[in-house]
Structures are given as C-alpha cells and as structure tokens.
Structure 1
Amino acid sequence: MSSQSPALRAAILVVSTTAAKDPSTDAAEATLRSVFEQDGGNQWTVAGTQIVSDDIAEIQHQVALWTDPVDKGHDIINLVVTTGGTGFAVADCTPEAVSAILHKEAPGLIHGMLSSSLAITPFAMMSRPVAGVRHNTVIITLPGSPKGAKENLQAVIKTLPHACLQAAGANSRALHSGGVKKLEKEAGLDSQAQAPTPAHSHAHSHTHTRHHDHNHSCHSHTHSEGHSHGHDHGSLVRLSSENPKSNDPSLGPSRRHRSSPYPMLSVQDALSLIAKHTPSPTIITTKVTPDLVGKVLAQDVYASAPVPAFRASIVDGYAVVVPPSGHLRGTYPVVSTSHAAPSSNLTPLKEGQIARITTGAPLPPGANSVVMVEDTVLISTTKTTHPTTNQEIEEESQVEILSDPNHHPAKPGSNIREIGSDIPLHHLVLHTGDQISAVGGEIGLLSAIGAREVSIFRPPTIAVLSTGDEIVESTTPRELSLGEVRDTNRPTLLTAISRAGFTPLDLGICSDKQNHLESTLRLALRQSDIVITTGGVSMGELDLLKPTIERSLGGTIHFGRVNMKPGKPTTFATVPVKDNDGNRVQKLIFGLPGNPASALVTFYLFVLPALHQLAGITPPGLPRVPVVLSHDFPLDRSRPEYHRAIATVGRDGTLVATSTGGQRSSKVGSLKGANALLCMPSGPEPLKKGERVEALLMGDLRSDVA
C-alpha cells in the first residue's frame, strides 16, 4: 500500500479497572499512538480511544460499537487494538471477551507478535494474545505494559494495512497481483533480512505457508495452544469457532449449505443432551408467603416448635378432673372459663370443679379431660358484670354432667389435643424436593410451625424472542402488507410458560439482521437463564440463529436437527457468560421452529424439562399416561409424530384421545383445545381405533359427557 492511499482508521481500547477510575494512570494509549505515527508509514489515523474495566461485557460492548456494521456514509474502523488484560491474573479476561465475538481468527498475527517478543524476553510466553476479524475490522489484543504493547504492535504493524484492506472487502486478486515480493516491498519488509536464524526462518515459513494455504488447520493448532491455559470457556469457544457447522453469512446465499450439516438426533438423544448441559439449580433463601407456590424446597424442613404448643380442647364443653373411679355424673360448680385466646392466668382446676372451655382453648392446669356441652345440663346461673362491656349478664353457676359410668365412663385425655400431637418437636415436616402446591397444605404446615424462611431452588428466568422481518405484533390494528405475519408464537409461549409456573421475560420481535440478533441475544443472556427464540433455524440465508450462536457468541450447538414431526430444525445450544459475581456459567438457548404448532410442541417436549431441571422439579417434563385412540390415526412414514389431541376420561375411567384435526406445523388451529401430545411412531399404516399409545399431558383432563 502506497503512502498516497487513504488513511486507515484505528481505535485503541485500554482495558484496565484502575485506568477506568483514573485515566491519568494509563500510559499505553500514548505509546500506541506513537507507534501508529512513527512506524505506521503515514497510513493510520487513530479515530477513537476508550477505557473500560476488566469486564467481559464492557469489553465486548465497546468492540461491538466500533466493529458492527454502520450506515453507509460512515467510515468503518479498520483496526481495533486492545491493551491490557491478556495475562494470567484473576481479573484478566480480554482474550476471552474478544475471542468470543470474532468471526475469523488470525493465528499468523499471534505468531508474529509472540515470535518478536520472545526474541526479547522469555516472559513473552506469559501473554495470551488473540487476533482476528469481526465483520470488516481486524482486532488484536496487546499486553497492558506500554513496553510490551509497543513491541507487539511494532511486530505486525507493517502487515496490518494489507490485512485490513482484505477484511474491508478489497479485491484479493488485485492486491496480490504482484506476488509476495511486491507486497513485502510495499510494506517495507525484507523477508531475507528478517530471518536471523534457521530456526526462526522455519517458524516464519511455517506460519506463512499455513496462513495462505491451509488456514483452517493453522487456526486449530494455534487457537488450541493460545487458550489451553486454565480457562474453561476456552474449550467451548475453540470447539464452536474452529469447526462451525453453521452457514457463514458473510459468504452470501450462494455459499450456504444445501442440506443441514447437523446430524439428525432421536428425541431421546436430544433430551439426554439437554439434561447433560442444563446447569444444576441454584439455592436461595426466601420468606414463607403464598408466593412460594410452585417452588421446590432445597432443604429439609423440621418443626422448631410442637403443634399444638399447649394442651387444647377439641370441643366446646367443660374441662374436668376425672377421678380414678371415672364417675363424673353429678352437679359441679363452674369456677372459670377458658377461651381460644391468649391467656397466662388460668385458674388451676381441682377435683369436684369444672371450667367452661371453647374449641381450641388451653386446658386449665389440673384438668385431664373435656366433657362435650351436649352431655351437660345448666342447673343455675348468677349475675355478673361483663369484663369488656360492663353490662350485667347471667353467668353459669352450676352444671350437671350426664355421663354414665356404666355405659359412657369419662376417661382422662378425652377430647384433648396433647402437646405435639399434630406435629412433634423436631419432626421432619417437608423434604428436599417437595414442591409447594396451590392446594395450600404445604403453606399451612410451614405456617403452623412458625417457619419464616426456607431454602428453595431458584426458579429460572426465561426470555422469549420472535425473529423475522416478516413478523409483526399480534395487536397491530392495520391490515397486514403482503408477506407480513402476525406474531402468534410469542404470545403462545408466554402463556405456556406462565401456566407452567414460571415468569417469562418478553423481548419482543428481532429483525433478520445479524448485529440486531446478536445484541438482542446478549441482552437476553444477561437477563435470563434460558433464551427461547422462534424462527431463523432452517436453511435460508436469513436463518441467522445458528451462525450468531457459533460465530458471534462463542456458543456450542449441541443439536440442530431432531427426528420428529413437527419440529425437525429445533436447536439447542449453550453459551458461556459471566454472572454478577464474575463466575462463568452456562446459559441455554433453545431455537424453536417458526411454525406455531412446531414452536409449542417443542417447547413442551424440550424446553419444559430444562425449566423443571433448573427449578429442581422432578421428574422433569410433562406427565406420561396411556390413552386409547377413539378413531384411526394416520402415521408419518419417516418420522415419529407428536400429534395434538384432546384426552378425556371415559365413563369407565379409561383415557380416550381424539385428534384436533389437520396436523400441519403451520396450522394454529391444531392447538385449539389440545391437552395432550400423542407419541405416534412412524410407519406406513395408520394406528387403528382402540389401540393404546403414550400421551404427554399438556393440560387438565376432561370428562367424557357423550
């Protein structure tokens, strides 16, 4: 590239939590500016600088701002150089942040920087550089020390104009028309003079040959070594970025796959992969309120107090002292009253005395039995003043007990709830794994023992996203234009998630633009545990979910096709991210098909088990029951089918299944009234009326009223 060529635009990103708080502490930016000015052959202008903390999200956000496509008329950033965060310190995360969002990797640049630095100090091997291309921008990571950053940039700066022009879309044939010698001369390089030793020359030749002739192999080798040092995410990024199966959107529609590169898995194998890669549930402590309904206990609950905590009457009547003879028939004075109310001043009861008592009230000291009011007769009253109204009332004075010692003798303990008779002290009330039901029994138990807090498995958060330029809000009042479709998937899935006891996050509709999809998915991954998308998982050039997951998010696609009907292109992936505490965790993405029936069927079949696993609900997924077919059912010849049906309880208690009608995956009407998915095998002949199949219950059973 000649000095008369237009200036290339560079941006410098300083990664340092210290410098982010106090920019005056940074010296690397000024050093790198001087390299561009003094060693860049008048070909560079520094168009932007920024300082961010040692945080993956901040790094990726700023790099994306510089590198994502901009409106026509705006100059692109040709080169982004980062400085800082490439070492082995706990906070160093720049290589991970950058490698996860690269579309192509450049191992030759990494080799060039390391070779140059190693000629100066063996400690250069302690750096973990990353280099590559995102969209049309070359990105390289440099050490944080001004000296190391300078040496690394100087090692490659003369070759960067050529790389940046190619990344920006220049004609490669024209750029290489004069051969390598011409390129070296224009860049101010002399390959013969720069080969100090045979060993170094061999390394240079090795890298040059692999870079031009066998880039994929070089990429695998170099990236593996660059990320193998104690970083769990490295292997995930390496697997997904070295050999991505998805289409490369930058190659255009003519270069896309004509058949899916993803192997066709059975439903059971797909479910096994989901179970394997779904993280263990997180345990939290929460207050005992009605909001606990649907939650699962993560720890056994023991009674910290007995229930009841005092001896209480279970009837309205009279507390008595049963003599050894058991003979109580006779007339007794009423000496006190015990109500179901707080009391600390009960009069002790002696043999020959009785006390009026209400249901649930504590027994007076000395009492050992309660006689029901129905077995007594009022004999006399006395006038007294009501303790609260001060009005004159008649109070019981004498009561006759009618119990017959020969036929119905009084017994100690009759009509009394003893201390701990309902729930003994330290009794195991609820087990780990018990789910708090809406019936109310579990909440009642916890309230009875005075439990204020319990440990539960934290319910996962679920983000729901529809994709497609053709999708419009279902509430749009205007008539639809040609090619537009109302969004039925999102409202349906939001409803299904809520009914399953989880709280969904509605992320709306995303267009078929890779940068928009990528930014929306990053937002979803920050805010949720599971992301559900519909559409964009098939074979068209605008089906961008798989490439975005693999090539932009550094995720791993565990399966991209399932042998089932409907829902064959269902996709399941994991993406490594950092949580609020800086720990690396796996977030799940389910790419469901865009057809309405496919989306709902695959939600119940694949997403719900993952939700249950994250929430600690066992067994995960829909309940399975046998049903009898009420008519003949056609079968698909090649794929097992999950047939939408209505299951009812027959007069003899048998579950009977009836089809909802046409089962085309785009047919919303096939979901109307459906409460079951019939697990139908593939085959050439229909299943006959009266045969039994297994059904997955999506909703409540109905009675057969015919």
Structure 2
Amino acid sequence: MSHPLKAAILIISTSVAQGVSKDSSEDILRSVFEGEEEAGRWTVSDVKVVSDDILEIQRQIREWTDHEASGINLIVTTGGTGFATADQTPEAISPLIHKHAPGLVHAMLATSLSVTPFAMMSRPVAGVRNKSVIITIPGSPKGAKENLQAVIKTVPHACIQVAGADSRSLHAGGVKRLEKDAGIISLGHSSHDNSTAHHRGHKHEAHAHEHAHGHGHGHGHGHGHGSLVRHTKQGENPMSNDPSLGPTRRHRASPYPMLDVEEALALVSKHTPAPTVITSKVDNELVGAVLAEDVTASENVPAFRASIVDGYAVVVPKDGNMRGVFPVTAVSHAAAGEVGELKEGEVARITTGAPLPPGATSVIMVEDTVLKTMTEDGREEKEIEILADGVREGENIREVGSDTKDGSIILQKGEQVSSVGGEIGLLAAVGTATVKTYKRPVVGVLSTGDEIVNHDRPGHLRLGEVRDTNRPTLITAARGWGYEVIDLGIASDKPGTLEETLRNGMRQADLLITTGGVSMGELDLLKPTIERALGGTIHFGRVNMKPGKPTTFATVPVKNNDGERVSKVIFSLPGNPASALVTFHLFVLPSLQAMSGVSPVGLTKIPVSLLHEFKLDPGRPEYHRALVSVGSDGSLWATSTGGQRSSRVGSLKGANALLCMPKGVEPLQKGTKVEALLMSNVRLVL
C-alpha cells in the first residue's frame, strides 16, 4: 500500500451521546489500528458518536459511504449488537449493505466463542456499501478489541478490492503471498513446502533460544510451540497466558516489561479512578474522611457575649477603679434565666461560659474579690469587695463570633478529619449536621490457590497445603488505614471459579486485592482471567523490586447501578506473605488514598541512619523491613527485623518502616543515611 487505509469509528450509545457516561472503546480500537504490527496500514480519520437510533446510525453511515470524497475504506461500529431493547445496530446497518460478508462475521464470532460461550449472544453484521467495508462489533472494550483483532489483518485486502484494485494482480502469488503481506503465519499449507517449514521451524527455535537465555538456564534445547499461531512479534502483544492452550504453551518468560517502582506508581496514579463525592453525617464515623468542599460556619461562636472565668460581671467606671464593696444583685449561670440590666455600682455573680447580663462591660475574676457579707439564709453572697484597679472594658469576655464568625470558612476542601477530635468539635460547634466528603473505597480481599487453607482449620496440614496468612494480614492492614473490608475467602485454581469470585468481588467492592497466582506457573490464572475473561487491562505485571517482583495492577470496566461504565481496580499481589504486605503499603495504599481524596498519597518518607551494616541485593532495589526508633537526641536510627526472605512473614513483626535500599554488591555501613517509608509510629529509645 502506498498510502494508509482510512478507518472511521462509530460509537453507538445513547448514554455516551448524551454525555451521561464516558466511552472507553475508542481508545481500545485506536490501539489496534495504531499498534506496532498495523503501523503504516491504517489511519483513523474520523470518530463519531450517535444514539441507539436507527435513523441516526444510518444517517452517519451514509455520510461516510455515499460521498466519494470521504475516502473511508473501513467503518467500524461499536455497540448495539446485543439483545437489549435499545440494541438496533444490525437492523440499521443490514438494509444499507450492498454485499454481505458472512466470512468476516464468522471470524469475529469464532474468536469470541473461543473465549466465552456468551459470544453467541452477539449479532454482528459485515459487508460492503459503495467503496467502504462495514463491520459491527460489541460495545464492551474487551469484545470490541477481540472482534477487530480477529479481522484486522485480512480486512485491508477487502478494502483494496472494494476501492477498485485489479483482482488478477492483487492475487498474483496465491494465498501464501497474501498471508505474508498481511503478516499472517498459517500452518494450514502442505508440509512439503520446505522453505516455509524451514522458516517456521527456525523462528520457533530462535524463540525458544531467546527464552532459554532469558531465563539464564544455559541449555541449548528449544521449547517448541507445536501448532501455536503467532500473529504478532515477540514482546509486541504483552498478554498473559491463554489457559486453554495447556501448560506446555505457557510463557517461558513474562510478557510484561519490568518497570521501576516509580514507573509503576505513576501508572497506579494515572489509572486509579477519581474520588466520588457523597454526603456524610457529622459523627464518629466521619474520622478519616476527606472533605470534598469548604465548610462554612452558619452561625457565630459564641452566639452571645460570655464570661471566660468564674467571677463577677460589672459595669466599669470611666476611671477603671473598681476597688470597694459592691452589692451582688443577680446570679448569671451557664443556663441563665432572665437577668435584669446591670448598673454601675452593681455586680452579678457569673460562671465560666455564662452570658453576660445586659449592661455589663467586664468580668472581675473571683480571685480578685473578697466575700464581705452573706444573705440571711447563708446561701448567697450579699456583698463582695473588689480589689482591682485599672480595669478596662472587655476584660475576661468572649465576644460574639470571636471564636468563629458566621459565614467564615472553618474547614477547607481536602482536609482530613482526624481522630484527635478537633475537626469534629469545630463542626459540632457551629451546628453542622452533614458535610460533603470523598467516598472511601470498599476493599475486597481474596486469596487464590488450591493449596491454600484457612489459617484456623483444625488438624495438621497435608502435604502441599499452606495456611492462609495473607488474607487476614491484608484485611488487618486495610482496616488499620480506615477502610471497610470485605472478606472474599479463597478461590481455587480453576478459571471459572476464579472469574466468578472476582465478578462477585467487583459487585461488592471498589478495589480488589488478590494474592497468589501471578507468577509463571500453569495454575497462575489471575492475569489470564483479568485480561481474557473480565476484559480488563493489566497496566503492569512486573516491578523491579525485592520483594514483590510479580506485583500486578489492572483495571476492569464494569457498569455501576446507574448503568454508567466505571473502572474497578484490581491489585494482584504475590503469594509470599512479606511480598504481599510490602506491595500493599507501596502500591495499594496510594491507590486507596487517591480514591479517598487524600493528598499527598503514600507512606511518609523520612531520612534515617543505619544502626548496623546492611547487605544489598545485587540485582534489584530492596524494601527492607526495619524498625525505626528515635534517640534521646532526636536522631532517627533503623535496625533490620532479621531475615528478609519474601516468604518470611516474621520479617514484618515489629516493623514500622520499609528502608529504600539500592541494589549493590558492597554492603551499606553503619551510620549510612537512607530513606525510610513509615508504616506506623516511630518509637523512642531511651
């Protein structure tokens, strides 16, 4: 092709057209058209959004196909191919098609059916109108990607023919040339074609050789892939194992690039959903919540002029001289009744917080007075002597609004309500009953693996069984940071069981944490289930760190109760206990905090000095579990919790910090300054 073919995308969704929800298919389809394998073949020249309306759909299709100047070679519609009442795409497209293309329909359905039987519920249509090829694909990002990838390599041939190319010259060289031009390796040809067989065998040997060296085994033999058909270059399509292919065809090396921790954290930040605003009651459940808007006082505090001491309300004369004996004419308590206006030369007994009597201009502390006489019944003061001179108006008085003025901002957006009580007290003082806050995400915690048993199961372990330490540990950690947690139990290493457990978890929780099943074994099914069954996107699957290298972060598109498409977050953490807890604090916690509106996110980082020599890992940066304490002089020191093996959960016993240790051959000496991430309070060493 001398020029790229032009593609147009038509998003068919009433909710997207009305701006109620956001489309997520366009980016997926663009990634297929603009991927490395298709680079130079396609350009996406137009994208339009229409409602689930037959006339709107047909109007846009005609605009693209009935005007030769548009030059659109391929039209891909996404959405409206199911059985829902509003799904009318096939009914809109079919009458417009001049030549139907059942082969394209069959290819799309066959691809989707290999993933799930429910693909038979899709009603795709494909064909030609004038000089444009039209295919209809599902609205889900996963289904859309699968269907487009199923035909993307062969559709250019149809587009070129439809545009008027000479068929004789186009087919010169036979099917094998067409497949080669399309980048397809087919194993359906006769085995006597030695050149093709030799090329294919050499490719697999090279592929196996690369795997062997990648693992550092040093073996000379290759790992044959039998009849596996690869449509992309090595490393171009980083997707997890396909469990249906069997254990012999699982990856020998991870298809996911190794990211630095900073790169992984950036992806967590980018793909964590924005916080949701809710209305919350002002009570003890508000602790830990982040305010989503400024809070304004709706009344003055105090609402009246009040005494700040126990003593006597007085009317100060111009000269400020209050020495002398004065009659006590009234008593003003905190729960005051009616008190008459005070005149100069009279005093009224008053308690702390009580309103001043009308006319009073100052308060004399009881310590500045002497009792002179009592009433006849001996219960009240009759006269007191004041010993104060130079008294000024306004002394010992809390004026109206002096603490908080009506209309002033008392708490700002982004402030977090602490357990100290100050924020709750301030809100209560001005009578605030509800505030806007960011919803704190609900966390679901799941362990995976047939070998995992509940930690409290009685009896001895059978060979191969492991007690579940990760689930109770992670539940405790998440709750300790103030999040509601749902215990999702243990899922077995069966694709269907795992998929259903994950779907159930996403119905209940905003963020899922799973442990185990993220390495390279044939039973490690989390990544395949997230990608292939749930239609999720794995943003990273390996991190250059110790412990926690196979940590996985993914998002899955789902519909909420309002029918809007949203993302649910899944963190698949390693199965080793220490790895799980370290990666929870390093990756999961910042995501939870971002969804809660907390800023900045992540553990507090402080500089500390090493109390003894620390060995380094030569290959990866390490997050060393340690105890940070403060000396009597205020200096911070870190000591190791002992053996750091990733399976040793005891390495986190007593730990309050993760030391950020670089990779290296030589150990770090005592006194070296390193950065520490604080997981809990620092202790004082006397």
TM more than 0.5: yes
The change in CA–CA distance for 1:503 and 1:116 in structure 2 (over 3 A counts) is same
User: What SS is found at the alignment partner of 2:244?
Assistant: helix
What is residue 394 of structure 1 aligned with on the other side?
Answer: 379
What is residue 119 of structure 1 aligned with on the other side?
Answer: 98
The change in CA–CA distance for 1:217 and 1:361 in structure 2 (over 3 A counts) is farther
CA distance in 2: counterparts of 1:658 and 1:287, whole angstroms: 43
Structure 2's unaligned 5+ residue stretches are 1-51, 58-77, 128-160, 186-235
The alignment status of 1:140 with 2:134, answered yes or no, reads: no
C-alpha displacement at 1:134, in angstroms? Answer: 4.2
The change in CA–CA distance for 1:137 and 1:376 in structure 2 (over 3 A counts) is closer
What is residue 535 of structure 1 aligned with on the other side?
Answer: 516
Work out whether residues 86 and 143 of structure 1, in 8 Å CA contact, stay in contact via their aligned partners in 2. Answer: no
What is residue 263 of structure 2 aligned with on the other side?
Answer: 269
What is residue 449 of structure 2 aligned with on the other side?
Answer: 468
Work out whether residues 86 and 144 of structure 1, in 8 Å CA contact, stay in contact via their aligned partners in 2. Answer: no
C-alpha displacement at 1:461, in angstroms? Answer: 1.0
The change in CA–CA distance for 1:542 and 1:402 in structure 2 (over 3 A counts) is same
- Candidates 247, 250, 258, aligned match of 1:253: 247
C-alpha displacement at 1:114, in angstroms? Answer: 7.5
The change in CA–CA distance for 1:419 and 1:376 in structure 2 (over 3 A counts) is same
C-alpha displacement at 1:115, in angstroms? Answer: 8.0
C-alpha displacement at 1:671, in angstroms? Answer: 1.1
Q: Which amino acid aligns with 1:133?
A: L
CA distance in 2: counterparts of 1:632 and 1:424, whole angstroms: 57
Give matches, 1:511-660, under 5 Å.
511-660=492-641
CA distance in 1: counterparts of 2:83 and 2:289, whole angstroms: 35
User: What SS is found at the alignment partner of 1:140?
Assistant: helix
C-alpha displacement at 1:430, in angstroms? Answer: 1.0
The alignment status of 1:327 with 2:337, answered yes or no, reads: no
Work out whether residues 320 and 367 of structure 1, in 8 Å CA contact, stay in contact via their aligned partners in 2. Answer: yes
User: What SS is found at the alignment partner of 2:632?
Assistant: coil
User: What SS is found at the alignment partner of 1:139?
Assistant: helix
The change in CA–CA distance for 1:342 and 1:326 in structure 2 (over 3 A counts) is closer
The alignment status of 1:379 with 2:359, answered yes or no, reads: no
Work out whether residues 557 and 573 of structure 1, in 8 Å CA contact, stay in contact via their aligned partners in 2. Answer: yes
The alignment status of 1:347 with 2:340, answered yes or no, reads: yes
Q: Which amino acid aligns with 1:371?
A: I
Give matches, 1:440-519, under 5 Å.
440-519=421-500
C-alpha displacement at 1:244, in angstroms? Answer: 5.5
Give matches, 1:64-79, under 5 Å.
none
User: What SS is found at the alignment partner of 1:605?
Assistant: helix
Give matches, 1:56-95, under 5 Å.
95=81
Work out whether residues 514 and 544 of structure 1, in 8 Å CA contact, stay in contact via their aligned partners in 2. Answer: yes
Write the deviation string for residues 496-536 of structure 1: whole angstroms up to 9, x where unpaired. 00111111111010000001111111111122111110000
Work out whether residues 350 and 366 of structure 1, in 8 Å CA contact, stay in contact via their aligned partners in 2. Answer: yes
C-alpha displacement at 1:427, in angstroms? Answer: 2.1
Q: Which amino acid aligns with 1:369?
A: S
Work out whether residues 635 and 681 of structure 1, in 8 Å CA contact, stay in contact via their aligned partners in 2. Answer: yes
Work out whether residues 461 and 528 of structure 1, in 8 Å CA contact, stay in contact via their aligned partners in 2. Answer: yes
Q: Using structure 2 for the length normalisation, give the TM-score.
A: 0.70
Q: Which amino acid aligns with 2:383?
A: Q
CA distance in 2: counterparts of 1:350 and 1:704, whole angstroms: 62
CA distance in 2: counterparts of 1:481 and 1:542, whole angstroms: 19
Give matches, 1:175-214, under 5 Å.
none
User: What SS is found at the alignment partner of 2:629?
Assistant: strand
User: What SS is found at the alignment partner of 1:379?
Assistant: strand
What is residue 281 of structure 2 aligned with on the other side?
Answer: 287
Work out whether residues 86 and 95 of structure 1, in 8 Å CA contact, stay in contact via their aligned partners in 2. Answer: no
What is residue 215 of structure 2 aligned with on the other side?
Answer: none
C-alpha displacement at 1:378, in angstroms? Answer: 2.2
C-alpha displacement at 1:377, in angstroms? Answer: 2.1
Work out whether residues 518 and 551 of structure 2, in 8 Å CA contact, stay in contact via their aligned partners in 1. Answer: yes
Work out whether residues 650 and 703 of structure 1, in 8 Å CA contact, stay in contact via their aligned partners in 2. Answer: yes
What is residue 190 of structure 1 aligned with on the other side?
Answer: none
The change in CA–CA distance for 1:134 and 1:324 in structure 2 (over 3 A counts) is same
Work out whether residues 291 and 415 of structure 2, in 8 Å CA contact, stay in contact via their aligned partners in 1. Answer: yes
Work out whether residues 130 and 141 of structure 1, in 8 Å CA contact, stay in contact via their aligned partners in 2. Answer: no
Give matches, 1:147-158, under 5 Å.
none
What is residue 698 of structure 1 aligned with on the other side?
Answer: 679
CA distance in 2: counterparts of 1:581 and 1:555, whole angstroms: 20
The change in CA–CA distance for 1:378 and 1:314 in structure 2 (over 3 A counts) is same
- Candidates 336, 339, 351, aligned match of 1:358: 351
C-alpha displacement at 1:304, in angstroms? Answer: 1.4
CA distance in 1: counterparts of 2:363 and 2:513, whole angstroms: 62
The change in CA–CA distance for 1:690 and 1:561 in structure 2 (over 3 A counts) is same
- Candidates 299, 305, 314, aligned match of 1:305: 299
The change in CA–CA distance for 1:464 and 1:432 in structure 2 (over 3 A counts) is same
User: What SS is found at the alignment partner of 1:394?
Assistant: coil
C-alpha displacement at 1:337, in angstroms? Answer: 0.8
CA distance in 1: counterparts of 2:548 and 2:396, whole angstroms: 63
What is residue 689 of structure 1 aligned with on the other side?
Answer: 670
What is residue 148 of structure 2 aligned with on the other side?
Answer: none
CA distance in 2: counterparts of 1:520 and 1:630, whole angstroms: 46
C-alpha displacement at 1:97, in angstroms? Answer: 10
- The number of aligned residues is 525
CA distance in 2: counterparts of 1:115 and 1:374, whole angstroms: 96
Write the deviation string for residues 457-504 of structure 1: whole angstroms up to 9, x where unpaired. 110111110000000001101111100000000011001001111111
CA distance in 2: counterparts of 1:115 and 1:285, whole angstroms: 48
Work out whether residues 115 and 533 of structure 2, in 8 Å CA contact, stay in contact via their aligned partners in 1. Answer: no
User: What SS is found at the alignment partner of 2:568?
Assistant: strand
C-alpha displacement at 1:579, in angstroms? Answer: 1.0
CA distance in 2: counterparts of 1:602 and 1:496, whole angstroms: 12
C-alpha displacement at 1:668, in angstroms? Answer: 1.4
CA distance in 2: counterparts of 1:410 and 1:197, whole angstroms: 101
Q: Which amino acid aligns with 1:119?
A: H
Write the deviation string for residues 432-475 of structure 1: whole angstroms up to 9, x where unpaired. 11111111111111111111111111101111100000000011
Q: Which amino acid aligns with 2:324?
A: G
CA distance in 2: counterparts of 1:97 and 1:676, whole angstroms: 54
The change in CA–CA distance for 1:325 and 1:429 in structure 2 (over 3 A counts) is same
Q: Which amino acid aligns with 2:269?
A: A
CA distance in 2: counterparts of 1:442 and 1:368, whole angstroms: 32
Q: Which amino acid aligns with 1:485?
A: V
User: What SS is found at the alignment partner of 2:339?
Assistant: coil
Work out whether residues 297 and 410 of structure 2, in 8 Å CA contact, stay in contact via their aligned partners in 1. Answer: yes
C-alpha displacement at 1:370, in angstroms? Answer: 0.7
- Cα RMSD, aligned residues only: 3.9
CA distance in 1: counterparts of 2:521 and 2:482, whole angstroms: 35
The change in CA–CA distance for 1:95 and 1:370 in structure 2 (over 3 A counts) is same
User: What SS is found at the alignment partner of 2:264?
Assistant: helix
